[in-house]
């Protein structure tokens, strides 16, 4: 693999395919898009296989001095690797999900999705502050068009809200980046991750970055764009939004806020915890009363992402690992849930929960998949959600048992709204004739859901595959923030082990020796 | 020999002035039959001036070697950079005008001659290193511009635009002159170097008034808030090719002139004018953004957009550093391309009867009916909004970076936050074209020149342009350095 610019190729393939899609007829555009995303998936797998666990922190680095003011610098660590793999994994599924649902302006639609893929990979692979910003911000354009052109009835409001909210969040980050690059004399991310900014400045810088990532994440109270955008976006748009775009916020925290401003992160830890606690309880309660399936899942995303933020700011290995697994797991599970909604939406063209019911009777296969993802969302052991929630909450517990207590109610509430959703849609009597007449999943839909289901189980049963590449990076991050790590209330202390095991009977040993 | 050397330095202006006089005679005697030739002749003259100017940008000309007629005129790299932009914009504006004027039966050679005179005036403006030379250039440009604004004599809106432009422009010139007279009174000289030497150290209250009055006069010319009121009316009323011209070349000239006055003549008195510039910058960004929101007329909207952009450019000036000036010049170049492209697109919007379409209602769903035009406009609008990876982002990038490097973090933060308001109407533009139901009014029939300019400018602000960023930055650095060192 030495010398082969695999990351650039991963950017180039969807870029070229995207440009080609502009000029192609509908059917060809679909095939080109699917092929390009599959090639990228292949490249992503190659990337994963060739990633040397325990090797250098930054691998597959590329550097090109072609721009003024910033460098074309790419490279990944384990964290970026997993998120890139998640992105390329979800992309072909998105294309399949749009195969029949999108009938107008297919070429432009596929082009927008492929450009989106370029930008997502770029964000995770960028090693220059400003290159990161360009990829980060540019994602607004295709997403704005996807929501606005192919979205639902209220799409214009949703697209404007999405665009302006996220733009406003990001611009202040740019000013902070200027200041950092000026202060440190470089815009190289790995260097900046080791640079110690003065503590006073960190506060402002942290807030500027927080403005951007909190909106992207989205954290309470900056989350209001998310339900609007999710509900109006086409299915595949929701999948990408939930699956990858929300991860940009978490990635930002783990790549910038924590390692670059450890003192400020500790200073604002309680802000993050409080917002996370409110988000978990509030978003879960709101989800409980939703009549719209997509809105319900959107609010569940807000709740899950709050566990991510709390886990990230727990300043310990479990918390960070849990947050990363939560991001990956949520990317798969909520993406799959949106796909499940999309499958029945394509048949009945409504997201109203009361219009369905009793689907287990006429769509048994669908019901099984839906059940699996519902359980994964709740965090049933054996699914990815369990690993994620367990690790993050274990990490947070070390810092604050009160916060953990509140966050754990989110899991109970989560079980509440997800099971309630499932009962109303899948179980019960077939009250609606048209819903009862829906056919079960076809082959295309199998191809969409089966791989995600496999991944969810894999991550739930053997998370080591996903944790291993990230382990050393998370350890490095933990070491970096350790100096600012706050004292937790759990005060875990290793006791002195007993001399003998508990059921040891004195004397037996001695007499045994006489035999 | 001195006089020959001086004339040698102003060859571009001599070419322009000479051609303008000759072509004026040709028009007077030839009448309408020579119109085409006059247009071509004018464009050639500007092209020739361009060729003579390019070398001054690349060769880093500065200091005494560039000064002509004592200290009246300086053909340094800074002036060269601005002139190249002015000449290119003027040539583009000449190329799009004939087809438009023909439809209104107003295709006359005088148009081209007036453009030539205006361009010559702008050349003098950016090269002026003396208050008198400055004023002569400014007025030569302005007088030609007033006539151009009312070029469609039968059109009430055009006549109104010309009149408005004249009255407010004359007022601005008066204020500028008053400021200049105060400066002259307190320093005893009209040359920039002399002024700088005379008021080094503490500035007297009278001279301070002079500085402020001059800034006010120049703020009129670049349509910075609070002296921007004429802009939407004039831009809307003037014939679209003339509006295109106003939004590009004179803007470059006025901003270059303002920079030279501020950084050369009053370079040691940064504290005296910085607050004024900061206020004008932030007010322009906010008013330019808010004013545009309610507009339905595309030309008015773009007028507010140009006010908005003037604000961003002034942020570079407020930094008052070489980086700031260089950033302004980069921004100006990008701004000229974006303005050209978007106004030309408006010019190309015509219905089947050949009438101009100017409102949002007319372009609804343009992406379904005229995809190429709509996608070009999409690129231009996102670029104007400063969304990466389009090149308009780079303009904002360098300007705000310069502000942060000059330790003006708060200014940068407020400015960039206000830019989000502006993004609203740019994305509204895109929403109308892409999300709304098509009305299919625009025919998309336009001259090859218009298409070439539209597509060319869309390509120039596309992500590809980042490959040019370094080259452009080097030119701007050279130009900025020549002003600071000279």
The ipTM of this complex is 0.93
Contacts of A170 in chain B (CB under 8 A): none
Domain presence at residue A112: no
Domain presence at residue A329: yes
Calculate how close chain A gets to B398, using CA atoms only, in Å: 8
Contacts of A134 in chain B (CB under 8 A): 388-389, 393
Average confidence score pLDDT of chain B: 91
Domain presence at residue A179: no
Peptide linkage before B197 cis (omega within 30 of 0): no
Determine the structural domain holding residue A397 and report its residue range.
268-487
Calculate how close chain A gets to B330, using CA atoms only, in Å: 12
Cβ B408 vs Cβ A79: under 8 Å: no
Report the pLDDT averaged over residues B322-347.
94
pTM for the predicted model, two decimal places: 0.93
Q: Do B473 and A171 lie within an 8 Å CB cutoff?
A: no
Q: Do B405 and A69 lie within an 8 Å CB cutoff?
A: no
pLDDT exceeds 90 at position B2: no
Cβ A395 vs Cβ A322: under 8 Å: yes
pLDDT of residue B270: 87
pLDDT-based confidence at B272, cuts 50/70/90? confident
The encoded tokens of residue A226 equal 């998310």
pLDDT of residue A492: 67
Of A66, A140, A168, Cβ closest to residue B387: A140
Calculate how close chain B gets to A98, using CA atoms only, in Å: 19
- State what percent of residues in chain B have pLDDT above 70: 100
Of B419, B423, B435, Cβ closest to residue A148: B435
Q: Do A174 and B424 lie within an 8 Å CB cutoff?
A: no
CA angle (B199, B205, B207) in 5-degree steps? 45
Domain presence at residue A402: yes
3-class DSSP assignment, residue A72: strand
pLDDT of residue A405: 93
First to last CA, chain A: 63
Q: Do B473 and A130 lie within an 8 Å CB cutoff?
A: no
Q: Do A163 and B423 lie within an 8 Å CB cutoff?
A: yes
3-class DSSP assignment, residue A258: helix
Contacts of A66 in chain B (CB under 8 A): 466-467, 470
What is the 3-state secondary structure of A480-511? HHHHHCCCCCCCCCCCCCCCCCCCCCCCHHHH
pLDDT exceeds 60 at position B317: yes
Cβ B42 vs Cβ B112: under 8 Å: yes
The encoded tokens of residue A34 equal 């699917």
pLDDT-based confidence at B390, cuts 50/70/90? very high
pLDDT of residue B243: 95
Cross-strand bridge partners of residue A126: A74
Calculate how close chain B gets to A240, using CA atoms only, in Å: 20
- State what percent of residues in chain B have pLDDT above 90: 71
Contacts of A172 in chain B (CB under 8 A): 413, 416-417
Contacts of B368 in chain A (CB under 8 A): 105
pLDDT of residue A54: 84
Report how many domains make up chain B: 1
pLDDT-based confidence at B355, cuts 50/70/90? confident
Domain presence at residue A5: no
Q: Do A134 and B393 lie within an 8 Å CB cutoff?
A: yes
Chain-centre distance for alpha carbon A96: 20
Q: Pick the residue of B384, B387, B400 with the most A CBs within 10 A to test the interface with A by mutation.
A: B387
Distance of CA A298 to CAs A329, A432, A466, B186, Å? Answer: 15, 25, 25, 68
Domain presence at residue A296: yes
Q: pLDDT tens-digit profile of A118-160?
A: 999 999 999 999 999 999 999 999 999 999 999 888 889 989 9
Determine the structural domain holding residue B159 and report its residue range.
2-485
Report how many domains make up chain A: 1
Point out the least confidently predicted range of A484-493, B79-88, B286-295: A484-493
Report the pLDDT averaged over residues B451-477.
93
Q: Do A68 and B473 lie within an 8 Å CB cutoff?
A: yes
Number of inter-chain CB pairs under 8 A, A vs B: 89
Of A69, A144, A172, Cβ closest to residue B413: A172
Report the pLDDT averaged over residues B389-410.
93
3-class DSSP assignment, residue A61: strand
* pLDDT per 10-residue tile (average), chain A, 515 residues: 82 94 90 94 93 89 86 92 94 91 89 93 93 92 91 88 89 92 91 90 93 89 88 90 90 92 92 93 92 92 92 91 94 94 90 88 91 93 92 91 91 92 89 85 91 94 92 91 82 78 71 50
pLDDT of residue B261: 92
Q: pLDDT tens-digit profile of A35-70?
A: 999 999 999 999 999 999 888 889 999 988 888 888
How crowded is the C-beta side of A197, counted as CA atoms within 13 Å?
A: 31
Q: pLDDT tens-digit profile of A414-442?
A: 999 999 999 999 998 888 888 888 888 89
Secondary structure letter of residue B203 according to DSSP: P
Q: pLDDT tens-digit profile of B56-70?
A: 887 777 777 788 888
Contacts of B434 in chain A (CB under 8 A): 145, 148-149
């Amino acid at each position: 693999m030495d010398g082969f610019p695999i990351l650039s190729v991963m950017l180039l393939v969807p870029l070229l395919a995207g440009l080609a899609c502009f000029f192609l007829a509908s059917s060809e555009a679909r095939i080109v898009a699917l092929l390009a995303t599959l090639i990228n998936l292949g490249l992503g797998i190659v990337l994963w296989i060739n990633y040397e666990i325990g090797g250098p922190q930054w691998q597959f680095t590329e550097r090109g001095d072609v721009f003024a003011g910033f460098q074309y610098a790419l490279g990944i660590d384990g964290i970026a690797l997993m998120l890139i793999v998640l992105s390329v994994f979800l992309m072909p599924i998105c294309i399949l999900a749009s195969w029949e649902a999108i009938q107008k302006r297919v070429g432009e639609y596929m082009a927008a999705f492929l450009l989106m893929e370029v930008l997502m990979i770029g964000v995770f692979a960028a090693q220059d502050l400003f290159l990161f910003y360009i990829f980060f911000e540019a994602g607004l354009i295709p997403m704005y068009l996807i929501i606005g052109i192919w979205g639902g009835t209220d799409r214009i409001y949703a697209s404007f809200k999405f665009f302006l909210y996220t733009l406003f969040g990001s611009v202040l980050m740019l000013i902070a980046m200027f200041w950092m690059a000026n202060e440190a004399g470089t815009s190289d991310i790995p260097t900046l991750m080791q640079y110690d900014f003065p503590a006073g400045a960190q506060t402002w810088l942290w807030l500027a970055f927080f403005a951007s990532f909190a909106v992207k994440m989205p954290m309470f109270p900056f989350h209001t764009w998310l339900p609007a955008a999710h509900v109006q976006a086409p299915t595949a748009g929701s999948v990408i939004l939930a699956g990858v775009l929300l991860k940009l916020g978490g990635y930002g925290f783990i790549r910038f806020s924590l390692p670059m401003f450890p003192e400020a992160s500790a200073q604002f830890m309680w802000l993050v915890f409080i917002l996370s606690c409110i988000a978990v309880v509030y978003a879960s309660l709101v989800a409980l009363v939703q009549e719209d399936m997509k809105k319900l899942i959107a609010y569940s995303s807000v709740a899950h992402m709050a566990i991510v933020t709390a886990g990230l700011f727990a300043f310990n290995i479990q918390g960070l690992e849990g947050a990363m697994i939560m991001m990956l797991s949520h990317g798969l599970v909520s993406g799959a849930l949106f796909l499940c909604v999309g499958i029945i939406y394509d048949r009945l063209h409504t997201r109203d929960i009361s219009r369905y019911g009793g689907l287990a009777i006429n769509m048994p296969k669908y019901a099984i998949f839906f059940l699996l993802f519902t359980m994964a969302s709740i965090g049933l052991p054996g699914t990815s959600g369990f690993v994620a929630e367990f690790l993050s909450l274990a990490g947070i517990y070390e810092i604050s048992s009160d916060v953990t207590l509140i966050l754990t109610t989110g899991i109970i509430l989560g079980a509440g709204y997800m099971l309630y959703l499932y009962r109303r849609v899948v179980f019960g009597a077939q009250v609606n004739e048209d819903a009862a007449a829906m056919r079960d999943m076809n082959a295309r839909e199998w191809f969409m859901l089966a791989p995600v289901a496999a991944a969810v189980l894999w991550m739930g049963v053997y998370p080591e595959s996903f944790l291993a590449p990230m382990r050393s990076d998370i350890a490095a991050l933990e070491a970096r923030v350790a100096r600012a790590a706050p004292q937790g209330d759990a005060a875990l202390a290793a006791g002195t082990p007993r001399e003998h095991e508990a059921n040891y009977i004195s004397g037996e040993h001695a007499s045994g020796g006489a035999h | 020999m001195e006089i020959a050397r001086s004339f040698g330095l102003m060859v571009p202006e001599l070419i322009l002035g000479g051609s303008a006089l000759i072509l004026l005679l040709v028009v007077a005697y030839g009448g309408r039959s020579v119109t085409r030739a006059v247009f071509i002749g004018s464009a050639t003259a500007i092209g020739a001036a361009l060729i003579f100017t390019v070398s001054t940008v690349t060769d880093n000309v500065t200091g005494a070697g560039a000064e002509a007629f004592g200290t009246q005129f300086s053909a340094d790299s800074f002036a060269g950079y601005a002139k190249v932009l002015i000449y290119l914009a003027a040539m583009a504006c000449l190329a799009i005008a004939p087809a438009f004027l023909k439809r209104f039966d107003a295709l006359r050679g005088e148009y081209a001659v007036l453009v030539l005179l205006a361009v010559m005036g702008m050349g003098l403006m950016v090269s002026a290193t003396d208050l008198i030379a400055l004023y002569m250039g400014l007025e030569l440009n302005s007088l030609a511009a007033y006539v151009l604004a009312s070029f469609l004599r039968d059109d009430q809106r055009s006549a109104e635009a010309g009149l408005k432009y004249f009255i407010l422009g004359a007022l601005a010139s008066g204020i500028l002159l008053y400021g200049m007279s105060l400066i002259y009174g307190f320093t005893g000289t009209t040359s920039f170097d002399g002024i700088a030497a005379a008021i080094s150290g503490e500035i007297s209250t009278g001279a301070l008034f002079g500085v402020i009055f001059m800034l006010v006069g120049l703020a009129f010319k670049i349509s910075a808030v609070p002296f921007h009121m004429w802009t939407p009316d004039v831009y809307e009323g003037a014939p679209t090719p003339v509006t295109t011209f106003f939004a590009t070349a004179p803007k470059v000239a006025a901003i270059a002139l303002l920079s030279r006055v501020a950084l050369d003549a009053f370079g040691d008195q940064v504290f005296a004018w910085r607050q004024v510039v900061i206020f004008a910058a932030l007010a322009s960004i906010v008013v330019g953004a808010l004013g545009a929101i309610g507009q339905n007329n595309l030309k008015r909207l773009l007028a507010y957009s140009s006010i908005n952009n003037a604000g961003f450019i002034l942020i570079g000036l407020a930094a008052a550093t070489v980086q700031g000036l260089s950033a302004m010049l980069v921004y100006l170049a990008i701004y000229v391309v974006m303005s050209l492209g978007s106004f030309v697109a408006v010019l190309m919007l015509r219905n089947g009867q050949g009438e101009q379409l100017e409102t949002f209602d007319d372009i609804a769903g343009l992406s379904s009916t005229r995809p190429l035009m709509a996608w070009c406009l999409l690129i231009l609008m996102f670029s104007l909004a400063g969304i990466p990876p389009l090149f308009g982002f780079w303009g904002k990038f360098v300007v705000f970076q310069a502000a942060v490097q000059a330790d003006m973090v708060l200014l940068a933060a407020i400015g960039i936050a206000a830019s989000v308001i502006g993004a609203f109407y740019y994305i509204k533009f895109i929403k109308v074209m892409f999300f709304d139901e098509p009305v299919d009014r625009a025919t998309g029939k336009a001259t090859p020149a218009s298409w070439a300019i539209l597509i060319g400018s869309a390509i120039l602000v596309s992500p590809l342009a980042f490959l040019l960023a370094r080259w452009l930055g080097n030119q701007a650095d050279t130009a900025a350095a020549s002003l600071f060192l000279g």
